[in-house]
Structure 1
Amino acid sequence: MKNNFLLRLSLTKGIGAFGKQRIYQFAKRHQWWEFDGLEVRLLAQTTKTNDWNEWTEERLSEIQRTHQFITIEDEEYPDALRYVPTPPLVLFYKGDLNLLKRNMLAIVGARDATNYGYHVLEELLPDITKRGFVIVSGLAKGIDSFAHQFAISNQGKTIGVVGTGLDICYPKSSGNLQIEMSQHHLVLSEYPNGTTPAKFHFPMRNRIIAGLSSGVLVVEAKKRSGSLITAQQSLEYGKDVFVVPGSILDGRSSGCHQLIQDGAICVEKTQDIFDSYDLWNKIH
């Protein structure tokens, strides 16, 4: 009953992430998992219509039959993600869920990455994977894809978080990589199969990347970019933000330099990342 409720709530359109969180917290507090459409709307504190009543037992059974998923109430749900302001109530997945128990480092950066960004990851990833970090990113073009690929080629493990259903590869250029990761690594989404890309899905996806990881490494990011959103969220969640400086000539790393000015950790070598983790472990 509890899992059915959480699945139904996560799939309901017309209620935002904060509204869903309010409903979930109320249900958890009272250990009551049965609501009608009006109660859901009142608890969400919204006048918008929603499709709660359209999610019949039959439709929910179909989702359960065709998807693998965990809910926020399941033991396998990653602890770090429970503490973000609006954690996903359900995570659909393909691949090895055990990777969620490992130490995770997010790597994000420019879609139109340069050779410099590529070589930076080529230089840093062997040591990072050797140290046992699972690399988390968003399967986008550029730095995201390079990070996943270098993790794999260095015998490491990697997790992709996507802003579509798991049956859709976006961008298409990441298709083969996504298929390989869903078989031998892990791909996650909070959206059911058939969900196509939408602009607002990607900032939502970024909060999962930031929430899962113990820190985020930013390589080549402009001032206004999704990578900066992920870095900002990581800071808000109390995570370390590591930044590789870039060229001052083309603006592609202007966001990186802004982060360093704001107090992020400047990374020239992998030891700069490891020192921060070693210090954190000593304090705690």
Structure 2
Amino acid sequence: MNTVLLYLTHYLKTNYLQIYKNLLRPNQIEIESLKKVESEYFIQKIEFFTIFDVFYPKSLLLCKNVPMVFFYKGDLSILEKYSKVYLVNEIQNVQTEEILNDVILKKKKNCAFVFCGYKQERKLEEKLKANNCKIIYFCASGLDQINHLEKDNPNYFFISAFPIKTHPKKEYFYINNFVAAAFANSLIFISSEKESKANNLINCFLNLGKEIYCFPAQNLEDGNNELIKSGANLITKIEEAIKNNP
């Protein structure tokens, strides 16, 4: 059944309703066609898991019209053994740097940090990479399209809801946010701008019932105040948000 899902996702991409309908009649697909598609991924060393596997996020099982196949490159144990944290730091100053250093010092051994490849995330990603942190990188395209400089770095785990030969589209970034929220255990704001670019990401976490944490605002321009007023959990140290291994 996994190979059937791979085949359907390969050709139908994000047409999840049609994938589901076709899944109900798998015998209509020829065995040779299944093998041909499977070999394309094998050649490119792209692996996958499906809704039938233990790695599939439980929060997506309750949702309609969501990806049923995820493609990946890297060590799958990163996804399995580490607490998955989406960390946001939109204001760089001495105070936020101190908080970030403390997060890295205390949690790099049992956390993997989630990214969706946005421009505003690059400084944070570089900081975590330099400290040999585990990074889970969600791609809004097929994994054959990625040109990330760290694609062979063993600390990186690349994952995508999109089959090969899929180029980025605006709608795919929204899907990417949603699946990143599904896999992550929590969303933690060290700081945020008043007009934060993470608003869609916040909504994804809220819609999936995931926890959002905020450190105290550093100044009047820090949007963490508004997030806390809106119901985000106030924390003063990282242990309040990440207590144990997954």
What value does the CA root-mean-square deviation take over the aligned residues? 3.3
Q: Is 1:270 the equivalent of 2:241?
A: no
Three-state SS of the structure 1 residue aligned to 2:144 is coil
CA contact (8 A) 1:223 1:258 kept: no
Change (3 A) 1:117 1:235: farther
CA contact (8 A) 1:121 1:146 kept: no
- The residue number in structure 1 matching 2:2 is 3
Structure 1: distance between partners of 2:101 and 2:152:
22
Of 161, 180, 193, which residue of structure 2 is paired with 1:190? 161
Which structure 2 segments of 5+ residues have no match? none
Structure 2: distance between partners of 1:199 and 1:115:
31
- The residue number in structure 2 matching 1:176 is 149
Change (3 A) 1:14 1:129: closer
TM-score (norm 2): 0.78
Which structure 1 segments of 5+ residues have no match? 37-52
Three-state SS of the structure 1 residue aligned to 2:21 is helix
Greater RCO (CA < 8 Å, at least 6 residues apart): 2
Q: Is 1:12 the equivalent of 2:25?
A: no
Deviation at 1:74, TM superposition (A): 2.5
Change (3 A) 1:247 1:166: farther
Change (3 A) 1:77 1:156: same
Three-state SS of the structure 2 residue aligned to 1:176 is coil
Change (3 A) 1:84 1:104: farther
Structure 2: distance between partners of 1:232 and 1:211:
12
Of 44, 48, 52, which residue of structure 2 is paired with 1:73? 52
Structure 2: distance between partners of 1:167 and 1:239:
30
Deviation at 1:70, TM superposition (A): 1.5
TM-score (norm 1): 0.69
Structure 1: distance between partners of 2:53 and 2:135:
22
Of 132, 135, 138, which residue of structure 2 is paired with 1:161? 138
Q: Is 1:23 the equivalent of 2:21?
A: yes
CA contact (8 A) 1:71 1:77 kept: yes
Q: Which amino acid aligns with 2:6?
A: L
Q: Which amino acid aligns with 2:100?
A: L
Q: Which amino acid aligns with 2:111?
A: F
- The residue number in structure 2 matching 1:136 is 114
Q: Deviations over 1:78-128 (max 9, x none)?
A: 445544444421111110111221221122455xx5446962433422222
Structure 2: distance between partners of 1:87 and 1:69:
16
How many residues are paired up? 238
Normalized per residue, the structure richer in strand is 2
- The residue number in structure 1 matching 2:85 is 105
Normalized per residue, the structure richer in helix is 1
Q: Which amino acid aligns with 2:239?
A: Q
